[in-house]
Chain A
Amino acid sequence: MKKTAILTLATMAFALGGMFQTAAAETLRVGMECTYAPFNFKTAAGELDGYDVDVAKGVAKIVGADLKFVCQKWDGMIPALLANKFDLVIASMSITEKRLKKMDFSKPYRISVGRLVGKKNANMKLFDDTGKPIAANFAGLKVGLGRATTYASWFEAKLPKANVVFYDSSDAMYIDLVNGRTDMIMTNPMKAFLKFLSKKDGAGFEFVSPQIDEQKFFGTGVGIGLRKGNEALLKRLNAAVVQLSTDGSLEKYALKYFPFAIHNQKMVP
């Protein structure tokens, strides 16, 4: 009896060990800054947490790999990836033409969008049901924008007649919104939430537009970066990102930090 038990235990241990080995066969080293809250940062207890970290864990689970996080300063992120210091960059890195020349990116797990913030209950019907701006309803309203930003380009292209003013700092832009010098501003909704809407000053304000996600202006978004020439891995990462999107995981990760989803909800495999 005892012998059998020991044998069973041994078998189990062997089996467990075996399982461990197959899983450990692939370890993906993930580079991130570890200081970019709420996307990748260390908690007071020293644990890594954040949206990027959750995505990394979710992806690793789906592709069946172990994870090892490597903290890397931003300016050395791409060189470190290319020098094989880690395998993936999951660090809120936007997919750009310039970067695509050096590396590959998975499908975006976070999108770049713009959104308008204005006074609560102002009942400005600025967008129709398909998400297109209604130019006439912008008449008489003043819009604050960052100077030479993608939001400024979007306004110039879509609403050339709108009354816009440009700011060099986002603080000045928010102050003028609060003081009533402008009626709305357009910015990145995550920043607007973290810096403004979730704070005391932003109490009387809310988003007054849907998420505006035109790639031509705002880019594709944030993807998982990897070295070129890893087609097989790229395919698996893409499948994993799509799965995280469709099974609601990405939304769940986002809702930990924001009151809205920050990925492309219309993603197709």
Chain B
Amino acid sequence: MIVDFSLIIDSIPKMLTGLSLTLQLLFVSAFLGTILAIILLLMRISGRWYLQWPAVVYIYIFRGTPILVQIFIIYHGLPQFEFIRTSIFWPILREPYGCAILALSLNTGAYVSEILRGGILGVPRGLHEAGSALGLSVRQRFIYITTPIAVRLAIPAYSNDIVSLMKATALASTITLLDMMGIARTIVADTFAPYEVFISLAVIYMILTLIIQKSFGWFERYMSRYLKKEA
């Protein structure tokens, strides 16, 4: 096989024009997904069955099905219903961008809520007892003791999820969005050169992954700064 370097040099800038869409999909869904995850988490640890149950079912459904299926159901499936096309949500659901954000947020929300729950379960029981011995209320213990420790414990898994989410944004190209993947697919369809184009694209995604990993590594060190002093 002869690698066509001029094609690589030509196609990388073209694919990078989709970078802003890829990053938008990543950041907006990560933000909305994390808010959703916190709500789901609070529902799960509320101790009230009518809050716990819906959260458990929701998380099970969204972790139990492929994200591509979720995207297709939201994009192709929902408009089959007349009431959705006449609803106030249609301006969002009409656009593939809205559908992609919705699907990615709902999906990542389910995963992140489990990650955060893992963090909370990892907080040693003794700290709770110490807190209550100091006269802190349940709410105060949750905010000042549980949360900071849980967040620190959850960071590695959370950064993993953000990397997964970043890669999942490529699926938005299946619903006509021209993110980096969508542009790459168009270039491939024009040039019949999948190797050059997709390998270049893979390198771009790997660089993004590296940036995400490094940022979270820094954040983790920042959150654990007091541990370092002890060491």
Given A147-B186, A179-B85, A180-B94: A166 and B176 interface contact (C-beta under 8 Å)? yes
- Nearest Cβ on chain A to B11's Cβ, whole angstroms: 14
Question: Is B44 positioned at the interface, with any CB of A under 8 Å from its CB?
Answer: no
Query: Roughly how many angstroms separate A180 CA and B85 CA in the complex, as a whole number?
Result: 9
Q: Is A127 an interface residue (CB 8 A)?
A: no
Q: Give every chain B residue within 8 A of A172 (Cβ-Cβ).
A: 76
Chain B residue nearest to A173 in the complex (CB): B176
Give every chain B residue within 8 A of A74 (Cβ-Cβ).
Answer: none
For chain A, the bracket of interface size reads 10 to 19
Is B109 engaged at the interface, CB distance under 8 Å to the other chain? no
A166-B176, A172-B76, A175-B76 given; A181·B94 CB < 8 A:
yes
**Pair A148/B189 contact, Cβ less than 8 Å:** yes
The answer to the question of A67 belonging to the interface, with a C-beta cut-off of 8 Å to chain B, is no
Q: What is the 8 Å Cβ interface bit string for chain A, positions 178-210, against chain B (1 contact, 0 not)?
A: 011100000000000000000000000000000
Query: Quick one: which of A148, A167, A179 contacts B190, CB cutoff 8 A?
Result: A148
Q: B161-219: which residues lie under 8 A (CB-CB) from chain A?
A: 174, 176, 178, 182, 185-186, 189-190
Q: Are A147 and B94 in contact (CB under 8 A)?
A: no
A179 near B79: Cβ-Cβ < 8 Å:
yes
Whole-angstrom CA separation of A168 from B80 in the bound complex: 20
Q: Flag if A148 contacts B186 (CB, 8 Å).
A: yes
A148 to B185, CA, bound (A): 9
A65 within 8 A of B: no
**In the complex, A48 has a CB within 8 A of chain B:** no
Verify if A165 is at the interface (C-beta below 8 Å from B). yes
CB neighbours (8 Å) of A176 from chain B are 176
Residues of A with C-beta under 8 A to B95: 181
Bound: A179/B90 CA distance, A: 11
Distance in angstroms from A56 CB to nearest chain B CB is 34
Q: Write out the residue numbers on chain B whose beta carbons fall within 8 Å of the beta carbon of A168.
A: 174, 185
Q: A167–B176 contact, CB under 8 A?
A: yes
Cβ B189 vs Cβ A165 within 8 A: no
Q: Closest CB-CB distance, B193 to chain A, in whole Å?
A: 12
What 1/0 flags go to A129-168 for Cβ under 8 Å of B? 0000000000000000001100000000000000001111
**Closest residue on chain A to residue B182 by CB atoms:** A166
Known A165-B96, A166-B176, A167-B176; contact A181-B189, beta-carbon cutoff 8 A: no
Give the B interface residue count (CB, 8 A): 15
Nearest neighbor of B187 in chain A, beta-carbon distance: A148
**B188 closest partner in A (C-beta):** A148
Q: Is the interface of B mostly helix, strand, loop or mixed?
A: helix
Which residue in chain B gives the minimum CB-CB distance to A148?
B189
Once the chains bind, are A147 and B189 in contact (CB under 8 Å)? yes
Give the CA-CA distance A130 to B85 in the complex, in Å. Answer: 37
Contacts of A179 in B (CB 8 A): 79-80, 85, 94
User: How far is A147 from B186 in the complex, measured between Cα atoms in Å?
Assistant: 6
A-contacting residues, B74-92, CB 8 Å: 76, 79-80, 85
User: Are the CB atoms of B186 and A166 closer together than 8 Å?
Assistant: yes
Shortest A88–chain B CB gap in Å is 32
B96 CB to closest chain A CB (Å) equals 7
Q: Write the nearest CB–CB distance from A203 to chain B, whole angstroms.
A: 15
Chain A's closest residue to B189 (CB) is A148
Whether B185 and A147, one on each chain, are in contact in the complex, defined by CB atoms closer than 8 angstroms, is: yes
**Bound CA–CA A228/B94 (angstroms):** 54
Residue of A nearest to B174 (CB): A168
Contact with B along A22-53 (1 / 0, CB 8 A): 00000000000000000000000000000000
Cα distance A167–B174 in the bound complex, in angstroms = 8
A contact residues around B176 at 8 Å (CB): 165-167, 176
- In the assembled complex, the CB of B17 is this many whole angstroms from the nearest CB of chain A, namely 15
- Rank and list the top 10 A-B pairs by shortest CB-CB distance, nearest first: A148-B189, A179-B79, A165-B176, A148-B190, A147-B189, A181-B94, A147-B186, A175-B76, A166-B186, A166-B176
Q: Can you report 28 A-B residue pairs in the complex whose CB atoms are below 8 A from each other?
A: A147-B185, A147-B186, A147-B189, A148-B186, A148-B189, A148-B190, A165-B96, A165-B176, A166-B176, A166-B178, A166-B182, A166-B186, A167-B176, A168-B174, A172-B76, A175-B76, A176-B176, A179-B79, A179-B80, A179-B85, A179-B94, A180-B79, A180-B85, A180-B94, A181-B79, A181-B94, A181-B95, A181-B96
Query: Told that A148-B189, A181-B95 touch, could you supply 18 new A-B pairs with CB distance under 8 A?
Result: A147-B185, A147-B189, A148-B190, A165-B96, A165-B176, A166-B182, A167-B176, A168-B174, A175-B76, A176-B176, A179-B79, A179-B80, A179-B94, A180-B79, A180-B85, A180-B94, A181-B79, A181-B96
